[in-house]
Structure 1
Amino acid sequence: MNFIQTDLQISMHVGAGNNQKFINVTKLSQTLGLDLCSALPAFHAITGCDFNSAFYRKGKKKPFQILRKSPTYIQALCDISNIPNSNVDELFATLKEYVCRLYAFTGVNDINVARVMTFTKSYGNNDNCNPLNLNKRIDSSLFPPCKAELQQHFFRTAYIAHLWSHAHRSIPTDLLPTEYGWEESGEKYCFKWFMGDQLPPSITSITNLDMNPHEDNETENDGVCDISIDNCDDDSDANEDD
Structure 2
Amino acid sequence: MKELILFLHAATGCDTTSAIFDIGKLKPFRRLSQDEALRLRVGVFNSPNATPDDIATAGEMFIMSLYPGKTSDDLGKRRFQMYVKINSRLPANKKFDLAQLPPTSSSSREHSLRVYLQVQEWLGNPLPPTDWGFEKDEEGHLRPVTNRRCESKKCSCRRHKMVCSNICGYCAGHGCSNTLREEDEDNVDHPDKDLEPIPCTETDVELISLA
TM-score band (shorter)?
0.5 to 0.7
Give distance in 1, aligned partners of 2:101 and 2:67: 9
Q: Could you give the per-residue CA deviations for residues 103-152 of structure 1, whole angstroms, max 9, x where no partner exists? A: 22244441111111111111249xxxxxxxx6641201101000011000
Give distance in 2, aligned partners of 1:87 and 1:75: 16
Q: Which residue is 2:131 aligned to?
A: 179
Q: Which residue is 1:154 aligned to?
A: 112
Give the aligned residue type for 1:121: K
1:182 Cα deviation (Å)? Answer: 0.8
Matches within 5 A, 1:56-205: 56-82=21-47, 84-86=48-50, 88-124=52-88, 136-166=94-124, 172-173=125-126, 175-185=127-137, 186-197=139-150, 200-201=157-158
SS at match of 1:190: strand
Give the aligned residue type for 1:72: A
SS at match of 2:158: coil
Give the aligned residue type for 2:63: V
Between structure 1 and structure 2, the one with the greater Rg is: 1
* Equivalent residues, number: 156
Matches within 5 A, 1:215-226: none
The unaligned stretches of length 5 or more in structure 1 are 1-35, 126-133, 167-171, 207-242
Give distance in 2, aligned partners of 1:98 and 1:106: 13
Give distance in 1, aligned partners of 2:145 and 2:95: 28
Give distance in 1, aligned partners of 2:129 and 2:145: 10
1:197 Cα deviation (Å)? Answer: 2.6
Contact 1:46/1:154 (<8 A) preserved:
yes
Give distance in 2, aligned partners of 1:105 and 1:63: 16
SS at match of 1:163: helix
Contact 1:119/1:143 (<8 A) preserved:
yes
Give the aligned residue type for 2:119: A
Give the aligned residue type for 2:130: T
Give distance in 1, aligned partners of 2:44 and 2:13: 18
Aligned structure 1 segments of 4 or more residues deviating by more than 4 angstroms = 202-206
TM-score, length of structure 2 as denominator length: 0.65
Contact 1:100/1:106 (<8 A) preserved:
no
Q: Which residue is 2:191 aligned to?
A: none
Give distance in 2, aligned partners of 1:90 and 1:202: 26
Matches within 5 A, 1:48-59: 48-59=13-24
CA-based RMSD of the aligned residues comes to 2.6
Give the aligned residue type for 2:158: P
Q: Could you give the per-residue CA deviations for residues 176-203 of structure 1, whole angstroms, max 9, x where no partner exists? A: 1011111112242111010123982376
Give the aligned residue type for 2:144: F
SS at match of 2:10: helix
SS at match of 2:44: helix
Structure 1's 87 and 184: CA in aligned 2 closer, same or farther, altered over 3 A? Answer: closer
Identity score, percent: 22
The unaligned stretches of length 5 or more in structure 2 are 165-211
Structure 1's 106 and 75: CA in aligned 2 closer, same or farther, altered over 3 A? Answer: same
TM-score, length of structure 1 as denominator length: 0.57
Contact 1:100/1:108 (<8 A) preserved:
no
Structure 1's 204 and 59: CA in aligned 2 closer, same or farther, altered over 3 A? Answer: same
